[in-house]
Amino acid sequence: MVRIEQIEVVIADIPTVRPHVLAMTTMHSQAVVLVFLRRSDGIFGVGEATTIGGLAYGEESPESIKVNIETYFAPILQSCDADDVAACMALLSGHIVGNRFAKCAIETALLDGLGQARGLPVSELLGGRSVDRLEVAWTLASGDTALDIEEGQRVFEARRHRHFKLKIGKRDVEADCAHVGAIAKAFEGKASVRVDVNQAWSRGQAAKGAAMLQDAGVVLIEQPLAKSDFEGMAELTANCDIAIMADEALTGPDSARQLAKEHAGDAFSLKITQSGGLVPTAEVAVIAREANIALYGGTMLEGGIGTAASAHLFACLPDLVWHTELFGPLLMTEEFLTEPLVYRDFGLVVPDGPGLGVRVDRGKLELFRRH
């Protein structure tokens, strides 16, 4: 039996390359939460539980994740076999309600450690990858039309991204749609444009906005309504030709089944933290596939560890119709991996080393560690 000897949680505040404007908050830095799990065989597994905007986005914050793992998770895991990931996670689920982000970080660290011990990438532990590179969308979120167009042109010409997502919802519908329309026109024939409303619209605003955005050439609208409004999402999905995607409403397999039952979305945004781990997210993907719902590889703007973990899972899914949004490390001014993830030809190269295939440079991390 391989015991779990120590669990350490580190919060690091990494500045962003520019202000990142969402409907509920504006980010100037990202609080990356890393979990280091030391096994009795000397292997360290690493996971990430990064979220957005403190408590402005969801129920968990960087601070709560750290305290809860150290206070409640760690004692439970002391009796576990680190090689039996399923049993470890079942034990946690039996004793701890919710805390999906924290559970995801633990599961990721366990899988990373197990992969290193067996000499296998995490993707092989999850069934095997079908691709080695994932196309990655870039989010334009300065809120300034001219700046967004200039930024999009720059990353497109560098062959880094050819799909763009715009964060909207802070302004009135007409102003937001005019902003998006100008950007869609600038990239017509070159790059696809989709929007994320982050739950900011009412049903009436969503119906109006969807029509305007479709006319502007936008291909997808992410979570326009409150996450609890399954009925409204179903109505919008049925009445709009433009694709509607569930994001904040999707919190794991149970919500996925309900969303699928009510036809409350044409697409699901898969987020490993929001669903409580890589294995539950894989289950969400199966539910979506059976309901003929398209898949999108989402992000919580994680750093390199969470992004690598997501990439390993998404590489195992052959039907990511809407590609991925794994650009988190590119939004940050500083890198804390020993070797950065590789972005080229409009996509992310999935790491192929044992475990996650990436390692943390503790010296670099210490420069931004919160004390």
DSSP type of residue 69: I
Q: Which of 66, 103, 165, 167 is catalytic?
A: 167
Find residue 192's DSSP bridge partners: 163
What the block records as the tokens of 320 is 């990511």
Neighbours of 175 (CB within 10 A): 11
CB 166 within 8 A of CB 196: yes
Neighbours of 339 (CB within 10 A): 13
CB 138 within 8 A of CB 165: yes
What the block records as the tokens of 242 is 């433009």
Q: Is 273 helix (H, G, I), strand (E, B) or coil?
A: coil
Largest Cα separation within the chain, whole Å, is 61
CA distances from 368 to 10, 13, 231 (A): 10, 6, 43
Neighbours of 146 (CB within 10 A): 11
Indicate if 208 belongs to the active site.
no
Q: How far is CA 306 from the centre of its chain?
A: 8
Neighbours of 99 (CB within 10 A): 22
- Sequential DSSP letters for 225-253: S-TT-HHHHHHHHHH-SSEEEESTT--SH
Find residue 20's DSSP bridge partners: 27
CB 115 within 8 A of CB 121: yes
Find residue 10's DSSP bridge partners: 34
Q: Is 66 helix (H, G, I), strand (E, B) or coil?
A: helix
Beta strand extents in the chain (DSSP E only): 4-21, 26-39, 44-48, 133-135, 138-140, 163-167, 192-196, 220-222, 243-246, 267-270, 294-297, 343-344, 347-349
Catalytic positions:
167
